């Protein structure tokens, strides 16, 4: 899994979380990648296609940052949030892990029923 940080270099909260967020990713076995808001806006991508309708305020084009995304190695985004503290980042990852575990358990139950 990958933890992606969408940020701006002039953002105080983004700077405050710098380094700590990488450690949280490492502690949870995730790779870590940072993307500036400018790069995201300039380059068409799955991330931009996800972030714009989800986080950009209609009519004024404003966006709160930093946004953290949890994605598979294939680039499928599975969770995201506007994060202001390390505790919120840990909560996002914990919630995703619970969801992922429930999906795995549900898939295993479906496989067992099919095999019976």
The residues spanned by each domain of the chain are 2-107
The fold of the 2-107 domain, in CATH, is Glutaredoxin (3.40.30)
Residue 32 pLDDT > 70, yes or no?
yes
Q: 48, 59 in Cβ contact below 8 A?
A: no
Per-residue pLDDT reduced to its tens digit, 43-62: 999 999 999 999 999 989 89
* Whole-model pTM over 0.95: no
- Is 81 or 110 the better-scoring residue by pLDDT? 81
| pLDDT surpassing 60 at residue 114 | no
Bridge partners of 69?
Answer: 4, 80
**Banded model confidence at residue 105, pLDDT cuts 50, 70, 90:** confident
């Amino acid at each position: 899994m990958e933890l992606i940080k969408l940020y701006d270099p002039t953002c105080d909260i983004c700077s405050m979380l710098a380094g700590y967020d990488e450690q949280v990713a490492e502690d949870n076995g995730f790779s870590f990648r940072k993307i500036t808001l400018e790069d995201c806006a300039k380059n068409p991508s799955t991330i931009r296609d996800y972030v714009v309708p989800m986080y950009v305020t209609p009519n004024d084009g404003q966006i709160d940052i930093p946004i953290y995304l949890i994605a598979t190695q294939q680039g499928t985004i599975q969770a995201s949030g506007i994060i202001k503290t390390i505790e919120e980042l840990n909560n996002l990852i914990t919630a995703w892990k619970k969801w992922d575990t429930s999906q795995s358990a549900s898939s295993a139950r479906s496989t067992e029923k099919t095999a019976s």
